[in-house]
Amino acid sequence: MVLRLGEALDVTLRERNQLLQAAGLPPAYPQVDLGGNDLAPYRAALERLLQAHLPYPAMVLDRHWTVLMANAACTLLYGTDIVGTNLVRSFLTDPAAREAVVNWAELAWNSLDRLRHQLDQAPFDEPLADLVRHAETTLAGIARPREPSPDPVLCPWFRIAHQVIKTIGIAARFDPTAEITLDELRIELLYPFDAIAERFFRMR
């Protein structure tokens, strides 16, 4: 009954375990470390995916938007120390990010919307709730763009070396999953939007 409730509410596997524990039942879904032996084949698949995506940027994020893995092309857009960085916090609070991303305001508000939706699915996740509060505080004095983006998908446009590098973002996941760590991973893949971006990535 509790598992059916979790499915009906469309909450995460972590939240379903918490519902079970609140009902006095044992958790149904295991969680193991991504760096451990149990998930070694899946980690290897992620590494192959990141490498195969070159020369374009790709990274693996956890449920709190912390970068766990990244390929070499990510340094072109995010610098050399991207692994271990919380993408939401750095994007919202780093003045350099605001300068480097042409459509920063649109993306920032869109990120807040996504975080709120994510929190709806994981209402007991306090670190995620803290990210939402942080984003709300950051955007409190920044107006949401009135006109919606003319593009079908809202993606970052980077200002680099007097050029605007437009990208298309695609998110990938393991699905379906029965293990918490894999369920919470998100793979972010960036592709060039136009010939300028294609040359930028190909010439590096």
Query: Regarding beta strands 58-61 and 67-70, do their DSSP bridges make them parallel or antiparallel, or are they unpaired?
Result: antiparallel
CA angle at 32 for the pair 23 and 135, rounded to the nearest 5°: 75
- Strand-pairing partners, residue 81, are none
Domains of the chain, earliest start first: 31-202 (3.30.450.180)
Kindly report, residue by residue over 146-160, the tens digit of the pLDDT.
Answer: 766 666 678 899 999
* Single pTM value for the model: 0.86
Cβ neighbours of 156 (radius 10 Å) = 21
Residues of the chain with pLDDT under 50: 8
Peptide bond into 176 cis (omega under 30): yes
CA 103-52-155 angle, 5° bins: 10
Rg, C-alpha atoms of the chain: 18
| Percent of the chain residues topping a pLDDT of 70 | 91
Strand locations in the chain (E): 58-61, 67-70, 157-160, 163-172, 186-192
